[in-house]
Amino acid sequence: MNQVLQDLVTLLDLETLEYNLFRGASRNLGGRSVFGGQVLGQALIAAGRTVQNAQAHSLHGYFLRPGDMQAPIVYEVDRVRDGQHFSVRRVQAIQFGRPIFTMITSFQLPEDGLEHQAPMPDVPPPEQLRSQSELREQWLARHGDVVPERLKTAIRRPLPIEFRHVTPWNFLAPDVRPPKQQIWFRTPGKLPDDPMLHRCVLAYSSDFNFLSTALMAHGKSFLDPDMAVASIDHAIWFHRDVRVDDWLLYCMESPTAQSARGLSRGLIYDRSGRLVASVAQENLMREHRLPKTPD
């Protein structure tokens, strides 16, 4: 396990403060606030610490305020219900006495039942595709003269998740295209055999590249100075056991955008073609009309 991945595992290993209270740190990924996937993963870890034997099968969270990367986050868990097969938890992520994120998540004991699923699309395997780090270096070589140094540093920052785009989309020079993308991803090293950890790392990973799917239809990027973008909510359904240290295919699309909001949804498959998770997110994509400069 490389150091960046080990750091993610450590980040998800929350400190227990008291019964139903946990505390986590943050990492700077180059944005202006705490990365949403980090809060998702940590909130799910906090909820999972209060459940025995069951596995998370769904979560629904709302991002309420930007998180401060320099301050710890306290996670408060409400044990809403423990039933015969299902347990429900509500989690609040708190900074400076105010919630920045709220989530409700459900856990289920192992149970057999009827099965069907949508088939996995036919796409090139990850071994035939270039890594995201290679693509970003290529894009910086083309457009680096207009990219601030702070942003170059953020773009080059190593991530604990490796991505390989089936059809790359250059966010430094975005073009208009149908709002769909397919991306292979995995951790760059083996993770412990802990099903809950793999679900939490999947939740963390699911927030990467998702918001940009809705922007593709308009040739906009999250870097555009005339755009205000943010995640509003995020939902995940975990269908089957998953290992995030093997390649997973994330198939994303955005069926609609309106009222300064875009909807993105995605299906995540493992290499054998099993549908392991479904994801949905609504995001803010507000366009600001910048004043024209005089001729």
- Give the C-alpha separation, 196 to 56, whole Å: 8
**What is the phi-psi region of residue 259: left when phi exceeds 0, alpha when psi lies from -120 to 50, beta otherwise?**
left
Is 281 a residue of the active site?
yes
Is 42 a residue of the active site?
no
Task: With residue 201 as reference, give the H or E element that holds it.
Answer: helix 195-205
CB 157 within 8 A of CB 31: no
Of 38, 92, 212, 281, catalytic: 281
Is 231 a residue of the active site?
yes
- Give the C-alpha separation, 102 to 82, whole Å: 20
Of 26, 92, 182, 231, catalytic: 231
Give the total residue count for the chain. 295
Of 95, 207, 212, 278, catalytic: 207
User: What would the two tokens of residue 292 be?
Assistant: 């024209």
**Per-residue buried b or exposed e for 76-92, using 16+ beta carbons within 10 Å of the residue's own CB:** bbeeeeeeeeebbbbbb
Active site residues: 207, 231, 281
